[in-house]
Amino acid sequence: MTKLSVNINKIATLRNARGGNNPNVLTVARDVELFGGQGITVHPRPDERHIRYQDVRDLRPQITTEFNIEGNPIDSFTELVLEVLPTQVTLVPDGHDQITSNHGWNTIENKAFLTDICKTFKNAGIRTSIFVDADPRQVEGAKACGADRVELYTEPYASGYATNREAAIAPFIAAAEEARRVGLGLNAGHDLSLENLAYYHQQIPWTDEVSIGHALICDALYLGLQETIKRYLAALAH
């Protein structure tokens, strides 16, 4: 079964736009789990423009499903993850000024660094996933770094879906098959939506987890959070 982890960064973005605590990140996280979400994802950045480091600390004791913290493993991020001890950490090569993630790691060129950081997190009992492009070589490289899983960066699939979904999914199938061959768990995320999720899952049903935030929160503005989560779960049930 592929789990749905809901990224709640956009809830924090809305809260921060006005100040105060409305919407309440902790309440939304509880509701996500109540409505069937099987995990909570956050991506704290150094400027705290959405999820704050303190949010991560406050969320940890209340989450009853899986907690996934993603981000660039700079010193402050690494210290936070080791303090909070989530279920999973996802290593993402974000620059400090990036609006959103737009590429995966080069696991070959960064092997020494990624090997060290994977060892640090795994020694703390945290499942470690590396964010990679849909390239079998990068998947194989993640295995060599000691990762438990890879997360495939799915924006290229989402961009090409409407034009030619078979061509768009092809490199992801190849990367996913490589992950299965080398014994890595498999996650996916970025721009997955109600439009393209079911087909992705049909083609790569051995995906362990999808992490979805922006599209899901946008859908919730029209459908409501409970109905939206229900529809995303249905897309993963085919």
Q: Which residues carry out catalysis?
A: 43, 70, 190
- String of DSSP letters for 66-106: EEEEEE---HHHHHHHHHH--SEEEE----TT-SS------
Q: At what angle do helices 136-144 and 111-123 cross, to 10 degrees?
A: 50
Residue 216, token pair as written in the block:
């899901």
Give the burial string for 7-45 (b: 16+ CB within 10 Å, else e).
bbbbbbeebeeeeeeeeebbebbbbbbebebbbbbbbbb
Q: Give the 3-state secondary structure of residue 153.
A: strand
- String of DSSP letters for 23-51: S-HHHHHHHHHHTT--EEEE---TT-SSS
Angstrom distance (rounded) from CA 93 to CA 95: 7
Closest-CA residue to 103 (of 129, 74, 133): 133
**Does residue 107 contact residue 136 with C-beta atoms inside 8 Å?**
no
Angstrom distance (rounded) from CA 158 to CA 101: 14
